[in-house]
């Protein structure tokens, strides 16, 4: 019989202890005022009253080297295409246009001082396909393609997940394409002309010797 009452007493004391802990956390959470200071390095050490985050006003900080949404600082992009080749799911689309010698100054240099030799009218990342593997950022020679700390970028429309970073407007790109095509056609015509002249000279050579 004494065992019976002892068990009841143990149960009552266990419940009281549990409820005491619950009540303590409830009161701490109730009394917690204002922002929790999520950016504070000691944020997760302040256990009292920290029950849940008031998302999106508060959010768990992303780790320093976390891989989240990509960003291309296009002014530093040299259009080398290494990121495109490295991407295992083909979610980067790029178009480059060769910069004409007279436009080199206008195209400018990267922040590291490297002369840019290509316009990049199209640099699109299909973020819906991106698996944030980081292979593109690892190979980028100018480190313009980086992962940002932005982890929440959900959209209702899938089209909004296609990010555009190109450095020319459509009109500018058309003009540069035309100019590059004309220069290429001119160079090709000169090459063919020289080849024809050389052929003619070769044909005249033996006749002149006779
Ligand atoms: S992080 Fe990976 S999947 Fe995403 S664009 Fe870069 S290489 Fe492609
Ligand atoms: S690897 Fe970097 S510099 Fe090269 S095209 Fe991609 S983003 Fe631009």
What is d(CA 20, CA 26) in angstroms, rounded to the nearest whole number?
10
CB distance 94 to ligand 1 below 6 Å: no
Task: Please report the pLDDT score of residue 191 as a whole number.
Answer: 93
| 41 pLDDT more than 70 | no
Note the ipTM here.
Answer: 0.99
Task: Please report the pLDDT score of residue 53 as a whole number.
Answer: 72
Strands 70-72 and 92-98: unpaired
pLDDT, one tens digit per residue, over 58-71 is: 777 777 788 899 99
Ligand 2 centroid – CA 88 distance (Å): 15
Task: Please report the pLDDT score of residue 27 as a whole number.
Answer: 85
Ligand 1 centroid – CA 95 distance (Å): 17
| 7 pLDDT more than 90 | yes
Residue of minimum CA distance from atom 4 in ligand 1: 130
The number of beta carbons lying within 10 Å of the beta carbon of residue 203 is 9
Residue of minimum CA distance from atom 2 in ligand 2: 140
Residue of minimum CA distance from atom 2 in ligand 1: 133
CB distance 60 to ligand 1 below 6 Å: no
CB distance 128 to ligand 1 below 6 Å: no
Ligand 1 centroid – CA 70 distance (Å): 8
Task: Please report the pLDDT score of residue 210 as a whole number.
Answer: 47
The ligand 1 atom nearest the CA atom of 67: 1
Residue 90 and residue 128 in contact, taking contact as beta carbons nearer than 8 Å: no
| 95 pLDDT more than 50 | yes
Write down the mean pLDDT value for the chain: 88
Q: What is the mean pLDDT of residues 173-181?
A: 93
Task: Please report the pLDDT score of residue 91 as a whole number.
Answer: 96
Task: Please report the pLDDT score of residue 208 as a whole number.
Answer: 47
Of 33-37, 62-66, 115-119, the range with the lowest mean pLDDT is 33-37
CA dihedral in degrees (71, 77, 81, 82; nearest 10)? -70
Cα distances from 157 to residues 126, 153, 161, 162, 165, in angstroms, run 13, 12, 8, 10, 19
């Amino acid at each position: 019989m004494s065992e019976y009452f002892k068990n009841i007493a143990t149960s009552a004391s266990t419940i009281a202890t549990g409820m005491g802990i619950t009540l303590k956390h409830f009161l701490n959470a109730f009394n917690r005022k204002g922002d929790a200071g999520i950016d504070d390095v000691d944020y997760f050490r302040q256990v009292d009253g920290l029950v849940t985050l008031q998302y999106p006003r508060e959010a768990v900080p992303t780790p320093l080297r976390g891989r989240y949404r990509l960003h291309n600082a296009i002014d530093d992009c040299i259009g080398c295409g290494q990121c495109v080749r490295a991407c295992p799911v083909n979610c980067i689309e790029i178009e480059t246009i060769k910069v004409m010698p007279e436009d080199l100054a206008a195209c400018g240099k990267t922040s590291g001082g490297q002369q840019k030799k290509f316009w990049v009218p199209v640099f699109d990342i299909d973020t819906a396909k991106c698996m944030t593997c980081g292979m593109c950022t690892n190979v980028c020679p100018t480190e313009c393609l980086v992962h940002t700390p932005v982890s929440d970028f959900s959209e209702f429309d899938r089209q909004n997940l296609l990010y555009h970073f190109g450095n020319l407007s459509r009109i500018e790109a058309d003009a540069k394409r035309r100019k590059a095509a004309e220069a290429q056609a001119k160079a090709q015509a000169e090459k063919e002309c020289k080849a024809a002249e050389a052929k003619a000279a070769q044909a005249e050579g033996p006749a002149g010797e006779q």
